[in-house]
Chain A
Amino acid sequence: MEHIRTPKVEQVRLVDRFSNKSTNGTLYLTATHLIFVEGSSNNSASAGQEIWILHHHIASVEKQSLTTTGCPLVIQCRNFRVVHFVVQRERDCHDVYSSLLRLLRPVYYEELYAFSYNPKQNDQQREEGWQLIDLGAEFERMGVPNDQWQHTDVNRDYKVCETYPRDLYVPITASKPIIVGSSKFRSKGRFPVLTYFYQEKKAAVCRCSQPLSGFSARCLEDESMLQAISKANHNSRFVYVMDTRPKLNALANRAAGKGYENEDNYSNIRFQFVGIENIHVMRASLQKLLEVIGARSLTMSDYLVGLESSGWLRHIKAIVDAAVFLTKAVTVEGASVLVHCSDGWDRTAQVCALGSLLMDPYYRTIKGLMVLIEKDWISFGHKFADRCDQLDGDPKEVSPIFTQFLECVWQLTEQFPHAFEYSEWFLLQIHEHVHSCQYGNFLGNNQRQREQLQLGERTHSLWDFLMSEKQNYLNPFYKPSYSEAHPVLEPSTLPYHFKFWRNMYHQFDRSMHPRQSILKTILTLKENSRKAESELQALETRLQKLGVTPIATSDPPAPPPTRDQRTNPLPPRPDSLILGAPINHKEVERREEEDEQDEVGVEATERTDTERTVEGSSGTESRKQSYGELEGTCNGELAKEEPAVVSLELGVARMTC
């Protein structure tokens, strides 16, 4: 690569963000990654740590002034990793700095990693990967089309709305002229279309952008459109129109010839403002949050006041509040709801997606969440390229809208730990790849653009990759039966329930994480349970072969595995932040030798020889390596039913290997 002046710099010091810990090593600059390899010179056990940073993840590079030890280089990433190098020679530092400067400013989509990333799949596999999510099938699952809702091909050439997908669903009474007329009265042509259908009450969730109503403008077709949505639902005489903006913002838009629906002009609507702030407020809020949590030696007071004044959790709460409102209108009142904001691709996507997730247990499964993101975010034109800053664009367009959505889901998983098939690692992994530009799914701003880029032929699909790793993201607390009994989630949105998401915003700050986690413990327990069971079965078979009947006991018969265990065989150890158990081969061997001895305490303090922190790299190779490391956990030692020492120590961010 012509941009890389110095591919390798030796004697670079990596300084920990929160402690004064530092390690020496070598910095490598490749076409796709910045790699730090810890040197073996400092004869510590932890030699060999590697940090891979994908260029696309880098948000900013800062070269600070020269000090006596060298030239500091601070790199901040979109996945909230912050690394601080000290390069001995200023010249080297400058070379790395200016190379990065160029490397992290791709101008064309073709420069993005997804176009060069090759996970060793053939074309057929690639194609199958892209076919994993089928939105047509998803609408069928919801029961659409039906007697009230139909498919329309009005947008098959992206002529009515550039930022909508080709396939759209509208009320049967909405004729083409109505659609076209309505689209002309809506910002960016984003007319009301169906996004979720609640079969039980035949109520619809529709989405659109703000009307071009200004102070007095009307549009009969748009009014008919809303009328059609209303008529399609016999359960309710009116439609809720949710403007997810604060009222003030909506009013301000009127001056620009936009605005909101006038209840007098539309029959049978109930209009409601929700008050989610705009992308600029959200961007500033996250920035403040990161400032607060990035500060060293915070007092309790600094932290709590800073957290509050950042407003971040308040914004998250506002989104959940809106989703709860939507859910109640649909599931309790049986009313259809039309959701919009300004352009209908940020707040609208957040609220529609989160609302659907509250209503429909399917979206709380791994496949379901993929479908939901594909539908409400990707296909309906959330501007991932702009919001995630994929190319050199307008800084004012960048905003953590999708991150907020993932956080909302996480907050819900914290309230209902058993209602979700996925654990937070799934959310983190998605977040990672929304920014990695390693897969084609999130590239570009809308479907039309993606088709032009031929992403289906030139890149790979993230969903396929995540599906292949499904077992890593399973939530051990998940109870499918719960969803049958309680399909609709009713979260509490009191401020007490909104927590700071440490595993997201401190993902890579090893020193910030507790040493033990419930998730890891229960996985170990599950493993023990499975072991005990299979051993039991083996013994029983042996007894039968010997012609002995198993000992009858007064106990109730040992229960066969619980249902979900039968359907979901225990996953191999996921190698994620918390799940990644630092088990080393030596330990396993020794355990086998010294069967009787109980040395857990001492063993636990030992470390593995290799330690890898890889971010956004391609290799499934390194993943396999970590699996190998982890396999040893299940030594068949039943007497030691206690979980191996729980720690996230070495697993930090292996997720993206």
Chain B
Amino acid sequence: MFSGKPIKPTFKCYLPPAQTDRKNSIQPPIRLEPEFLPGEIVVNDVNFVRKCISAESSQGDLWGRLICTNFKVSFIPQGPPPKQKSLLSHLLLGQHDISLTCLEQVVTVNDTRGKRKVLGSNQKLKFNPTELILYCKDLRVIRFCFDEAGPESAKKVCLAIAHYSHPADLHLLFGFEYQGLRYHKGDLVNGSTPRGGIQTPVFDRPSDWDREIKRTGASGWRVCSINEKYAISDSLPEYIVVPVSLTDQDVKQHSPSFSDGRVPLWCWNHRNGSALVRMAGPADPLTQRKTEQKIFTAITKSHPQRREVTLSDLDKSLPNIQDIQSAFVKARQICTLDPFEESEERWLSSIENSRWLEYVRTFLKLSAEIVYNLDGKNVSVILLEEEDRDLNCVVSSLVQLMLDPHYRSLNGFQSLVQKEWVMAGHRFLDRCNHLKKNDSKESPLFTLFLDCVWQMTNQYPAAFEFTEFYLTVLSDSMWIPLFSTFLFNSSKQCAQLLQDFSKNKAIPQGEDHTVIFPPVWKWSQQFSTRDQTLFNNPMYVGKGAASVQNGEVKSFQRSKKAFSSTVRISSTSQRNGLKGEEEPLQRRGSLVSELKADFSPVKDESPSERFFRDWFSHPADQQGVLIPLVLPSHVVLWKLFFLRWVPEVCIPQGGPATVYHKVSQLVDEIEMLQGKLRQYKGASPRSTPVPSPGGPSSDQRRMYFKASSPDDPPTTPNILNSSFPFNPVGNLCPRGVQGTPISKFLNGAKTWLSTETLANDTF
């Protein structure tokens, strides 16, 4: 905890010491103390700050103290805590806290002088700010007013926030301080190793890969440790899976032909033997053809039927990372910033204009095509992308999610992200732009992936073990710099930085010189056990997970019989667009009469179309292949993610949460009843395969909402609304008081633009 002693230079502080001198600050009548994490220090603070709650009026605004630490921006409201507490209690961040990493843009405004400035690192501010607007990466927009605060202190806090949210170096992210200190003191939660308590394999050791090979029955593949100590590639994991026909020497020899030495990487195997492989583009065009040929041959050899491989060039068929970034920026703008009254009429076309949904659809569609190749055509597929670190991550994980029910369990999903994103070297550091250094590298690929997953869960509500809440907090976790998962560009960078850090921190001799940096998968870091039950989808039935543990996935064995052609494709096509001799009989201006039906088969059905049509004409087996419908009407906006902070959108006492509530209660009741039944039935052979723990006591129960006992009033809790379990109050206040010139400017301002373009934009 922060004590009175002067700030030790444990964290590099670029601000002149005068600004960190807290003696100047006005002593508040009540001390409003924030909660600090180990290693967290206050940089600056100011009192009598007003946090805006509503965009329209200042009614309900909160007064309190605004604090900038080396980890977060914290606001401590005065007075008694609100009656309706925030539902979720985040263990690292309070209701009014924003981690510095989460800040997208820091904007200061002087309302009276009509000035406004986007603040970056080490900048000066020529005016005293009357307002501070924080645009956050999790789509919140939070506004503070300094009408009653000391102008100098306010200015200092703003500068401190701006400065600390632009760390000069990755080392300066709070995570290092925090985790280093925790290690130092040895007060780790549970005193565990980084793996402690996490069931998710991290794929940093051969055994994780081995298990995956066995699980998928990939007999033609083996773990190769040629990249230990990152000998052949900086961005590949230390252990990779290659065709058995390639020796370590072969791999080493082929490696220089590929960008960054990235030899093709095995992702997953279908039961039918076809494999999913990802590959980078050529580094050396001269040797490329030959090398590729050898690799393809090796992959073909690993296929039980020696099938030729199919190459899918993702760069050619998908939007690039800049397109995706600009689509996301637009979608975000539409959902959180554009005034509703004006966008109402154009809502659909504005969302269309962002192209976000179109991209979501494109990715799903392409992934489904690859599913067809693997499952329907039984051929191995190589995903080709220039660097193999962006689009390939999205597509390979989506394909596996569609094909393998294991990845639809919580642990399976986490291992998928670990395998295809973290270990495969997705540049989280650059794409998240944690250091705010290079905006052109920023791109929300992981968010796009989560949106695609959400679309799948939307179409198959019972097939995934996790909820959309889980997906949302997973995306939020990208902006908390305490987890190794989203901080680095590659596992090598992670290892390297941690080593450097522990050297600098002079960790006592005799101890391991690596700082432990747990992944996000250790959810107890962020949420209580009870809050974690919100991850559980009550409709999911965890059979996939059960059978996987036995090393046996029968799931994606679809009986070939099911594909028996029920329908012949008509080879004859009718001429399109020709009017019949007889005018269509119209039944007197009826509604549909003027529809020009377009029924003639436009083109011959492609084999993949036929595969999908066949697949969709059968009942879906959620333990088998799941293919999403990708017609435009099936791709919809992920409301919880995009709109959860918008108070106007929130439906009190309504929304999907009410369904979640009801289903949870029901499932909880079923689990209790079954527990009882098992007790009565004893050890009958029938009941043994049931994996759930016998007689779940109330704190072990998996549902957030428990079945109501007859004594409880059977009412819906008042907390339910369409933003559940998030609280939109005060988290989205982009607009100033209506009518003032500055508010109009703010409404029209493209505030989400990059800092560079607006950095010196004062007037």
Question: Which one of B584, B637, B648, B680 contacts A494 once the chains associate, using CB atoms below 8 Å?
Answer: B648
A424 to chain B minimum Cβ distance, whole angstroms, is 13
Question: Which one of A69, A479, A543, A602 contacts B570 once the chains associate, using CB atoms below 8 Å?
Answer: A69
B361 to chain A minimum Cβ distance, whole angstroms, is 5
CB within 8 Å of A: which B572-587 residues = 572, 574-575, 578-582, 584-587
Whether B632 contacts A298 by the Cβ 8 Å rule is yes
- In the assembled complex, B761 has its CB within 8 A of some CB on chain A: no
On chain A, the number of residues with a Cβ less than 8 Å from chain B's Cβ atoms is 145
Whether B602 contacts A82 by the Cβ 8 Å rule is no
Q: A494-B649, A539-B680, A645-B620 are in contact. Are A554 and B575 (CB under 8 A)?
A: no
B604 and chain A: residue at smallest CB distance: A20
Contacts of A80 in B (CB 8 A): 592
- In the assembled complex, B690 has its CB within 8 A of some CB on chain A: yes
Cα A292 to Cα B602 with chains together (Å): 17
Q: A516-B461, A556-B709 are in contact. Are A521 and B714 (CB under 8 A)?
A: no
Q: A181-189, A198-206, A372-380, A412-420: which one contacts chain B? A: A412-420
Whether B599 contacts A74 by the Cβ 8 Å rule is yes
Contacts of B345 in A (CB 8 A): 314, 495
Q: Is the interface of B mostly helix, strand, loop or mixed?
A: loop
Q: B84-92, B140-148, B657-665, B744-752: which one contacts chain A? A: B657-665
B635 to chain A minimum Cβ distance, whole angstroms, is 7
B673 to chain A minimum Cβ distance, whole angstroms, is 4
Q: B207-215, B219-227, B236-244, B609-617: which one contacts chain A? A: B609-617
B732 to chain A minimum Cβ distance, whole angstroms, is 13
Whether A22 contacts B686 by the Cβ 8 Å rule is no
Whether B651 contacts A518 by the Cβ 8 Å rule is no
Whether A605 contacts B358 by the Cβ 8 Å rule is no
Question: Which one of A45, A496, A526, A536 contacts B566 once the chains associate, using CB atoms below 8 Å?
Answer: A45
Question: Which one of A305, A533, A562 contacts B665 once the chains associate, using CB atoms below 8 Å?
Answer: A562
Question: Which one of B589, B617, B635 contacts A649 once the chains associate, using CB atoms below 8 Å?
Answer: B617
Cα A293 to Cα B598 with chains together (Å): 12
B708 and chain A: residue at smallest CB distance: A562
Whether B666 contacts A522 by the Cβ 8 Å rule is yes
- In the assembled complex, A265 has its CB within 8 A of some CB on chain B: no
Cα A481 to Cα B658 with chains together (Å): 13
Question: Which one of B634, B667, B709 contacts A525 once the chains associate, using CB atoms below 8 Å?
Answer: B667
Contacts of B349 in A (CB 8 A): 304-305, 308
B55 to chain A minimum Cβ distance, whole angstroms, is 14
Whether A642 contacts B541 by the Cβ 8 Å rule is yes
Task: Tally inter-chain residue pairs, CB-CB below 8 A.
Answer: 400
Whether A535 contacts B677 by the Cβ 8 Å rule is yes
Cα A13 to Cα B599 with chains together (Å): 13
- In the assembled complex, A560 has its CB within 8 A of some CB on chain B: yes
Cα A607 to Cα B658 with chains together (Å): 34
Cα A322 to Cα B649 with chains together (Å): 18
Contacts of B572 in A (CB 8 A): 67-69
A507 to chain B minimum Cβ distance, whole angstroms, is 13
B650 to chain A minimum Cβ distance, whole angstroms, is 7
Cα A626 to Cα B291 with chains together (Å): 60
Q: A54-62, A114-122, A251-259, A354-362: which one contacts chain B? A: A54-62
CB within 8 Å of B: which A298-320 residues = 298-305, 307-308, 313-314
Question: Which one of B564, B633, B659 contacts A477 once the chains associate, using CB atoms below 8 Å?
Answer: B659
Whether A296 contacts B669 by the Cβ 8 Å rule is no
Most interface-central of B572, B636, B676 (chain A CB within 10 A): B676
Whether A642 contacts B543 by the Cβ 8 Å rule is yes
Q: A65-B579, A300-B352 are in contact. Are A516 and B460 (CB under 8 A)?
A: yes
- In the assembled complex, A63 has its CB within 8 A of some CB on chain B: yes
- In the assembled complex, B20 has its CB within 8 A of some CB on chain A: no
Question: Which one of B605, B658, B674, B714 contacts A532 once the chains associate, using CB atoms below 8 Å?
Answer: B674
- In the assembled complex, B197 has its CB within 8 A of some CB on chain A: no
- In the assembled complex, B504 has its CB within 8 A of some CB on chain A: no
On chain B, the number of residues with a Cβ less than 8 Å from chain A's Cβ atoms is 133
B722 to chain A minimum Cβ distance, whole angstroms, is 8
Whether A59 contacts B716 by the Cβ 8 Å rule is no
Q: A327-335, A343-351, A465-473, A483-491: which one contacts chain B? A: A483-491
Whether A63 contacts B539 by the Cβ 8 Å rule is no
Whether A21 contacts B618 by the Cβ 8 Å rule is no
Contacts of A514 in B (CB 8 A): 458-460, 629, 634
Whether A22 contacts B567 by the Cβ 8 Å rule is yes
- In the assembled complex, B17 has its CB within 8 A of some CB on chain A: no
Cα A604 to Cα B625 with chains together (Å): 12
A595 and chain B: residue at smallest CB distance: B686
- In the assembled complex, B344 has its CB within 8 A of some CB on chain A: yes
Q: A135-143, A239-247, A283-291: which one contacts chain B? A: A283-291
Q: A60-B584, A304-B352, A551-B679 are in contact. Are A481 and B713 (CB under 8 A)?
A: yes
Contacts of A560 in B (CB 8 A): 710
Cα A604 to Cα B605 with chains together (Å): 26
Cα A417 to Cα B613 with chains together (Å): 32
- In the assembled complex, A569 has its CB within 8 A of some CB on chain B: no
Question: Which one of B643, B673, B685, B715 contacts A496 once the chains associate, using CB atoms below 8 Å?
Answer: B643
Q: A21-B613, A416-B658, A529-B669 are in contact. Are A601 and B557 (CB under 8 A)?
A: yes
Q: A160-168, A363-371, A393-401: which one contacts chain B? A: A393-401
Cα A488 to Cα B102 with chains together (Å): 39
- In the assembled complex, B555 has its CB within 8 A of some CB on chain A: yes
Whether A525 contacts B595 by the Cβ 8 Å rule is no
Contact with A along B527-562 (1 / 0, CB 8 A): 000000000000101010000000000110111011
Contacts of A417 in B (CB 8 A): 654, 656, 658-659, 662
Cα A59 to Cα B585 with chains together (Å): 10
- In the assembled complex, B463 has its CB within 8 A of some CB on chain A: yes
B179 to chain A minimum Cβ distance, whole angstroms, is 39
A542 and chain B: residue at smallest CB distance: B680
Contacts of B358 in A (CB 8 A): 299-301
- In the assembled complex, B597 has its CB within 8 A of some CB on chain A: yes
B582 and chain A: residue at smallest CB distance: A63
Question: Which one of A294, A304, A518 contacts B357 once the chains associate, using CB atoms below 8 Å?
Answer: A304
Whether B680 contacts A550 by the Cβ 8 Å rule is yes
In the complex, besides A15-B601, A294-B598, A643-B539, 7 extra interface pairs with C-beta distance below 8 angstroms are A283-B591, A300-B361, A303-B633, A389-B590, A522-B659, A525-B667, A604-B618
Q: Which of B's residues lie within 8 Å of A, judged by CB?
A: 340, 343-349, 351-352, 355, 357-358, 361, 458-463, 539, 541, 543, 554-555, 557-559, 561-562, 564-570, 572, 574-575, 578-582, 584-602, 604-605, 609, 613, 616-624, 629, 631-637, 639, 643, 648-656, 658-659, 661-663, 665-667, 669-670, 672-677, 679-681, 685-687, 689-690, 695-698, 707-710, 713-716, 722
Give me 17 A-to-B residue pairs in the complex whose CB atoms sit less than 8 angstroms apart, sorted by A's number. A60-B593, A62-B585, A298-B631, A302-B632, A304-B352, A308-B346, A419-B654, A511-B613, A512-B631, A526-B666, A529-B669, A558-B672, A602-B559, A604-B618, A605-B561, A642-B543, A645-B619
Which 10 A-B pairs have CB atoms at the shortest separation, nearest pair first? A395-B589, A303-B632, A515-B620, A62-B584, A642-B541, A647-B619, A304-B352, A495-B347, A308-B348, A44-B566
